[in-house]
Amino acid sequence: MFYVSRGSIPPTRHTQHRAPDGSLYPEELFGVEGFTGRSSLLYHLVPPTRVQKIEPIGPVTIETADDGSHHHQLVDTASVTPSGDAISGRIPLFHNADVVMGIVLPAEAMPDGTFYRNGEGDELLYVHEGTGTLRTNFGDLAYHPGDYLVLPIGTTWRLDPYPASFQRMLYLECPSEIEPPKRYRNDYGQLLEHSPYSQRDIRIPEFREPTDEQGDYRVIVRARGRHTAYHFATHPFDVVGWDGYLWPFAFDIANFQPITGRVHQPPPVHQTFAARNFVVCSFVPRKFDYHPLAIPAPYNHSNINSDEVIYYVAGNFMSRRGVGIASFTLHPAGIPHGPHPGTAEASIGKEATEELAVMVDTFRPLWLTKQAAALENPGYPFTWLPADDHAKEASDLAERGPEAFPD
């Protein structure tokens, strides 16, 4: 990432930084990997260590479903109803040791005076529907559909949806850093000319004056597999200034510049973020391949050692029979997948796709949760069989458009 400075900071780090009344602003190092990873320095009105009360909330549990077989899976979340807030409303769907992913449809804002801090990993929220403000100790980020919201481990935050704004989000939690792929960065961290996005596209929190208020402020901290509530007498957003390389940010999927070619390009060209043992990719509207004999639909491919999850955001998903908006497909390692019958032929001659989808590829097996199993379509593994009226289906496919061809 890159260096950012906001608010009031001293000219030299770890030196006296005084308020107008002469008192010292307490300094906080916010960093990862001990003292060797990315970090920022934050300056507070009150030391961030002054906890008044600690209360247990309970363990964070994930119940795994296992029907004893290994197969492609389709999980349809379109009918899920809003509940809870950005934390209590989360529904985990897939998980392994490297990542948990699921959906959240917040029905309400987090209670007044309540905040969240994940002390176990980074978080990513992809905003499918809804608008509002992500408030953090670094500042505020207004969000809208299409935004990726990336929160480094240890960030204190709350999500405030705008009134009457329906909210639907994909969320990821992982015990590693979520960052732009290394192959798109030079030795100085700058995104390169051939990267599908640049630093200009990354939105930094809007700095606001420190909140100098007293009361009972509750920060729910996730650590050691459980939630614990820490109560403070002063507002946690009391930062007068900060600088460094570690901070939350937003990136609009609409600013992802797709990489195209003469023939079908493989999924790595869609990569947007990287973490340990998984990647996040963005399938966005783009021109199709321009070789005169190109087949725009993806070719059949075997996931030899990775699991592939696609979340379908918008578009007419021609290459996926029975898949609708707000569905997930899981194509696991060990078995091939590809376009459904008739879609390869129907894609020939198409000029562009209007798809919008988010893909997560993991390099260790994913497990379904019991919530995901309850939403699964058991017929999906057999959708590659030809339809009873194959000729009619092929004709209907050829007449559809604009189509989407996720891998």
Closest to 39 (Cα-Cα) out of 294, 297, 246: 246
Share of the chain above pLDDT 70, in %: 94
Q: How confident is the model at residue 164 (pLDDT cuts 50, 70, 90)?
A: confident
C-alpha distances in Å from residue 120, one per residue of 123, 194, 223, 227: 10, 33, 5, 11
Which tokens in the block code for residue 264? 């079908």
Residue 316, number of CB atoms within 10 A of its CB: 13
pTM: predicted TM-score of the whole model, two decimal places: 0.94
Which tokens in the block code for residue 22? 């002469």
Residue 371 host element (H or E):
helix 370-374
Query: Is a pLDDT exceeding 80 seen at residue 402?
Result: no
Triad 239, 35, 38: Cα angle to 5°: 65
For 110-130, what is each residue's pLDDT tens digit?
999 999 999 999 999 999 999
Given this model, what pLDDT does residue 69 score?
A: 95
For 187-227, what is each residue's pLDDT tens digit?
999 999 999 999 999 999 999 999 999 999 999 999 999 99
Triad 198, 204, 209: Cα angle to 5°: 160
- For residues 390 and 341, the answer to whether their CB atoms sit within 8 Å is yes
Closest to 114 (Cα-Cα) out of 29, 235, 11: 235
C-alpha distances in Å from residue 135, one per residue of 126, 149, 167, 179, 207: 16, 11, 16, 20, 10
- For residues 345 and 389, the answer to whether their CB atoms sit within 8 Å is no
Which tokens in the block code for residue 54? 């600690």
